[in-house]
Amino acid sequence: MMKAIFVFLFLIVGIFTELKAQDDDEYYKPPSKRLDVRNNTYPNLDRKSMSLYVGIEGGFKLNYASLNNSIGNLVSSQNNNDFSWGISLGYNSDNKWAIETGYLKNPVYFIQSVASGRGVPFTYRIGKDLHTIPVRYKRKVLTLDAITKTAGLYVGGGLLINTNAKEQLVYERTFVGVSGNAANRDTIRLTSDSFLSNKFKVAFEGQVELQGRVTNGFYISIFTRVNVASNAGLRSDLAYFQNSNKIGDATQSLKGISYNFGLLLRVDLARGYKYQSQVE
């Protein structure tokens, strides 16, 4: 998987380099064709750019889990990192603020390990890929290149609407074995039932994004996001039995806070300008 990701990133960098080489520097274009020159014919008109854009993103999501009882070191919990991707359609106003929506593949998983008695535990990845509709707003808070204004820092927030987050069983398994000596054997059994709930129906998102322009209408960003939802939207109920007697139980659950890191490509589909008089 990592090899495929590195190849993907290598191809992206190659494409960016080629596009950049083909792009004429705005500084050397005639003033009539430069997009960074203000309107000199009508100096009392303030020009603002507008664009409709599409974005493609990919990255990693970090999920965190907790376990309230190891049942005598029989069960253990691990966090899980997954690849996520999405597409978005948005509106940008003068590279100052933007709103967008789209689709996001939103993995929610944790790792459950059960001791096997042979040194290597049984390990299972439990969860589900959520189909998420993001609704975001982001605003530029800092221009990093004051001359060309090709790079900026954005902060934003929004809602994540998980369309398939509902009460459902996502995993079940039963482990059966024996203990004791040949004259007095006991049957031991561990059950694990995992559920997704509607607690994940809606989540809140905050983000920081560093965006740079590669060429006119083509941008690349790196982002960090934090997602905040209810705790235990994904949980696993475990019970340990000896013969017919229940001697222990535990609950493994996914924490409500997760993190997302990735790369975003943005291409303007349509661009225009709005003129507003500075004279009242």
Residues 112 and 197: their CA atoms lie apart, in Å, by 18
pLDDT of residue 105: 96
pTM here is 0.79
Residues 83 and 226: their CA atoms lie apart, in Å, by 15
Report the phi/psi class of residue 141: left, alpha or beta, with left for phi > 0 and alpha for psi in -120 to 50. Answer: alpha
- Average pLDDT (86-95) is 94
For 138-161, what is each residue's pLDDT tens digit?
999 999 876 666 789 999 999 999
For 118-140, what is each residue's pLDDT tens digit?
778 999 999 999 999 999 999 99
pLDDT of residue 21: 45
What does pLDDT average to over the chain?
85
Pair type for strands 202-215 and 218-228: antiparallel
For 227-279, what is each residue's pLDDT tens digit?
999 999 999 999 999 888 999 999 999 999 999 999 999 999 998 877 766 65
Residue 79 pLDDT > 80? yes
Output the six-digit token pair for 233: 């939207």
pLDDT of residue 216: 86
